[in-house]
Amino acid sequence: MNAHFQRLFSQGKAVDVLCGIGDYFTPGVTYREEHDFVLAVGELLDWARTGHYESAALAFDSAVMTLLDLGRFENALRLIRSYLILRKEMQTSLPLDEDRLVSGCCIAIRDAAEQLSSNEELRNLLLLVIQDFPQLKARIGFP
């Protein structure tokens, strides 16, 4: 575990750490221009295991909503995808309010329709997310 991240989580900075905005930006190992969502979510799940499941779930939910509110649709998808991958990898799930998450994503997808139609990589990213997120897939009506 990364003591720095764990300390920030305990200090109530989990949303900032997950979003990676400003001072909390941590460049990814391979994709340096992006926040290291894998590291942040991995540390969040480690923190959850120490008895902070509810807080971690709340922070994750808030982080997704924050990114969506800021118009960072792609980052929100990467955050969700990181969680979906690590959930399997680490065998740890968060008690998320999935209805709220799905609703937020649906609104964001509608708002980002133009972006999605013109950006194949973003479209593929969304497809990858919904593969592991059947609730969202059902809601947005993908076949």
Partner 1 sequence: MTATHSGACKSNSRKARQGVQSAFSRWVNALVFLLLAIGPDLTGSFGAFNGTGGLEAVISPTGTIGAINDRFGNLVASVSANQTLAWSRSKLGSYGVLPNSESPTLEQGASLIEASAWRTRRTDPTGFINMGARHYEPTTGRFLSADPLGHSSSWNLYDFANGDAVNGFDADGRIATGVGNGVVLGDYYQPATGAQMLGQVLGQVALGFTPAGIAGDVRDATAALGEVSNNGLGWRTGAGVAMAGVAFIPGAGDAVKGVVKGIVNAFPTATVIRTLPTPAPKLPDVETKWVDLNVPDAKTENGLMVHPFSGGGTHITTSVSLATHTESATFGAADGLFLAPTRQIDGLLASGASRSQIEITLGLNQGSLAQGTLMRIDISNPFARTLSLPTSGNIFFRPGLGMTWGGLNEGIITSPFKNDPGVILQPIQGL
Site membership for partner 1, residue 9 (CB under 8 A): no
| Beta-carbon-side half-sphere exposure of residue 37 (alpha carbons within 13 Å) | 21
Site membership for partner 1, residue 16 (CB under 8 A): no
Among 85, 106, 116, 140, binds partner 1 (CB under 8 A): 85
CB 42 within 8 A of CB 90: yes
The sign of the torsion formed by the CA atoms of 3, 48, 67, 27 equals positive
Q: Interacting stretch for partner 1, rule CB under 8 A, among 7-15, 81-89, 95-103, 104-112?
A: 81-89
Q: Interacting stretch for partner 1, rule CB under 8 A, among 39-47, 58-66, 93-101, 135-143?
A: 39-47
Among 8, 48, 78, 104, binds partner 1 (CB under 8 A): 78
Residues 6+ apart with CB under 8 A from 85: 38, 132
Q: Give Cα 53 to chain centroid, integer Å.
A: 16
SS3 (DSSP) at 36: coil
Binding site for partner 1 (CB under 8 A): 1-5, 26-34, 36-39, 42-43, 78, 81-82, 85-86, 89-90, 121, 124-125, 127-128
